[in-house]
Every structure is written in C-alpha cells, then in structure tokens.
Amino acid sequence: MAIYYYLYDMAPGEIPEIYKGTSADPAVFLTAAEQTLGKEYSTIKNFLFFLGVPFEWLVYFFILVFGVSKKFEEWSKQTVRFSVGQTAIYLFYLSLLTFLLAFPLQYISYHFSRVYRISAQTFPQWMKNELIDFWVSYVLMFVLVFVLYALIKRFKKKWWLAAWALFVPFTVFMMYVQPVLIDPLYNDFYPLKNKQLETKILNLADKANIPADHVYEVNKSKETNALNAYVTGIGGNARIVLWDTTLKKLNEEEVLFVMAHEMAHYVKKHIYIGIGSYLAFAFFGFWLAAKWMERWVRKYGKQLHIKELSQLRTLPLFLLVISMMAFASSPFSNAISRFEEKQADAYAIEMTRDKEAAISAFQKLAREGLSEVKPPALVKIFRYGHPAMAERIYMMETYPLEVKEGKRKEERSGASAQKSRD
C-alpha cells in the first residue's frame, strides 16, 4: 500500500526546471499522449516490481513454515535412493510450485506490455519463452543446488567459502557460453545483414582497438517494439549485438553512436569489472547466508522440522536469504552500473562527435520503449542500471565537445612548438 501511494500519489510528475525547454524535456520530443502512456506504463511496471519482490519472499517463507519443503524432500526420498535423483525431484517440485505461484504476476506484466504495445508476442510465443526460462533455470539450479548441498555435508563450517570458490569459475564459464549456448534458445543471431553499415561499425571498432570481425543482429521484432543493443560474453565469445528493431527505427548515425556506446563497455573493461563486483558481492553473500541460515536453524529448526543445514528442505531458506540480500545490494550495484553507463555515453560522444545523433537516438529509445524520462527516486535507486533518459539526453546536449577540441588544438600547437625548439 505504501509503494502504491508513493508511485501513484507522492512521486513527482514534474521534470526538474533545468531540463525544461531543452532536448531532455519530454514536451520537446514526445506528444502529450506519449507522455501519458509512458507515465502509466512505467508506473504499472514499477508497482509490479515492488509487489513481486516481497511476494517472492513470502512464497519461500510459507513453503518453509507450512512444511511444504519438508514434504517435497520426503517425496523425493521415497521415489529414489540416490542423492542426485533426490535433488532433481525435490528441485522440480519446488521449481514448479514457485513457477505456478509467480505466474499470475508474470502474466499481468505480459498483459500490460501487450496493452501498451511494447510486447509484440502472442500468448503462445510468450508462453514458449516462459517454459524455456523454466527449464534453463531448472538445469542450472540443479547443478548449483546439488554441488552446494554436497559442500554443506562435506564442510560443516566453511561450506560457504568452498561454494564461493566454485562459484567463481562457474560464473566465468556461464559468461563465456551464454552467447553461444543459452541466448540462441530464445532468438536467432546472425551477422549484420547491412554490410555497408557493418563496415562502418567495424571501422569504429578498429579505431577503438577492438578485435571484432562481426556485429550481430538478433530478431527481436517478433517479441517487442522496444529498441536495444548490448555487449555479452567474454573472451573469444564476446559479442556486440543489435536488435533488429534498433536497426529499423534508428538512422545510420544513431546506430553508430549506439555501437560506440557498446564498444566503450569493452574498451573500459566494464564486463570484467561487473564480473569482479558480482563475485565480490557473492563472497559476502555466501558468508552472510551461512551465518543467517545457521542462526535460523538453531532458533527455529524444531518448529520447521529441520535438524541440520544439509537437509534439502532448507533450500527455500537459502533462496529467501539470497533474494533479500540481492534486493538490499541492488542500490549499490545499480549505482556502479549507472556510473559505467555515463562513462560509455561520454566515450561514444567523444568517438562519434555527433551530438545530434546521440540526442535523437536517446529520444527514440525513450519514445519506443515508453521509458520514464525522469523516474521517482526510489525507482531509480532500486531499478535503474542506466541513468534516467532525461539525464542522458541533457548530458549529450551540454557535453563540452568544442572545449575539448580547443584543448586538443592547444596541446597539438604546444607539442609542435616544443618539437621545433628541440
């Protein structure tokens, strides 16, 4: 109720005075109807997010308290004798139950994305992706859970450290194989069809000393009307990917700016910084999870029918603790991400030297995705890994390119004079 009141009544609807009349002012590049639709859609999505997070916690909590997890473990032991089979069966029951309980909120989110014409998916297409998500998550979770509980049995006190030590190579491995094994399950990826544009993008990559042979295009128009591009993977499997919607709705100069932005993530090692930050958070996460779970089992183990931490029935407790810590740490991870995005924006405008293309690209991204140009503070803190669109557009408009060009001329003149004296 508090979140509803905050989003619908308390959150300011006015943009800061500094943006008014500039290219960052929604009134400049959006119609009144587009502004209204963007505000409505963003508020609904934000409310569903803040509703969904505590709902997930309650699901795990009630599965523990009402003995559902205990019953799942008993059924798995009655079915097979081997621990690997018991883990697979228990996890299937738990995954299916949580999937079904979360399905209404997932469907509501899909419904509104269709109503506001962000999603282009039919219900069967959307359901297909939901089922792919379920099975991909199930397989990955099975590997993680089986290893985790084997470590808890083997290392009574330091299992969290052993789990983190194995989590490091697993994370790196997943980042490496995701572009070639997981992403293609959802969409078709292929080298950019427009070879003239690809040549220009690869010239940018060469200018940035990026060893790239291809830019990849992905068929997203069958799913969404929004625009996007991203960098994924590491090492030899790193890819720069453009949605086909981006290619259709942005002109060549705008696409080149977007590509320069994505190249900045590679040049500035943001992917590796992100992995390092994620693993650092995971270290403290595993440690805190171990401490809290041990305390819960000591204090409430009898009521929850839990004798020791190594029992599979404690998994909802582990997932509950991890989910709560992930939410609590999201303001920090989002702040790091927003800083990196600002760096990438600055790098892109320095590389392309095209303010007009940068501004129009961001305006189109906001229009097509019904983005909230200036989100409420709590939404930005907990949800935004990118700066708000108004901030990005205003930064492009006020970025001191001319000043920097002047400085470069002075530096070149100074260097030439010094060379002549030498």
> Which of 103, 106, 79 is closest to 91 using CA atoms?
79
Furthest CA-CA distance within the chain: 89
DSSP states of 348-410: HHHHH--HHHHHHHHHHHHHHTT--SS--HHHHHHH-SS--HHHHHHHHHH--HHHHHHHHHH
Separation CA 355–CA 349 (nearest Å): 7
> Which of 223, 216, 210 is closest to 194 using CA atoms?
216
Left, alpha or beta for 168 (phi > 0: left; psi -120 to 50: alpha)? alpha
Separation CA 169–CA 234 (nearest Å): 13
Q: Which helix (H) or strand (E) holds 300?
A: helix 270-304
Q: Annotation-wise, does 372 bind a ligand?
A: no
Q: Which of 198, 244, 254, 262 is catalytic?
A: 262
Q: Quick one: CA dihedral 83, 89, 315, 126, positive or negative?
A: positive
C-alpha distances (whole Å) from 178 to each of 71, 146, 326 are 35, 21, 22
| β-strand partners of 218 | 189, 243
> Which of 37, 56, 197, 173 is closest to 115 using CA atoms?
37
C-alpha distances (whole Å) from 262 to each of 269, 287, 355 are 11, 34, 17
Q: CA angle at residue 57 from 151 to 385, to 5 degrees?
A: 90
Q: Which of 56, 73, 345, 391 is catalytic?
A: 345
Separation CA 379–CA 342 (nearest Å): 18
| Residue 262 annotated in active site | yes
Specify whether the CB–CB gap between 91 and 138 falls below 8 A.
yes
Q: Annotation-wise, does 305 bind a ligand?
A: no
The radius of gyration of the chain from alpha carbons, rounded to an integer in Å, stands at 25
CB 6: neighbour CB atoms within 10 A? 17
Question: Could you give phi then psi for residue 119, rounded to 5 degrees?
Answer: -85, 140
Q: Annotation-wise, does 265 bind a ligand?
A: yes
| Residue 345 annotated in active site | yes
> Which of 11, 397, 395, 16 is closest to 386 using CA atoms?
395
Residue numbers in the known binding site for Zn(2+) are 261, 265, 341
Residue numbers in the known binding site are 261, 265, 341
| Residues labelled catalytic | 262, 345
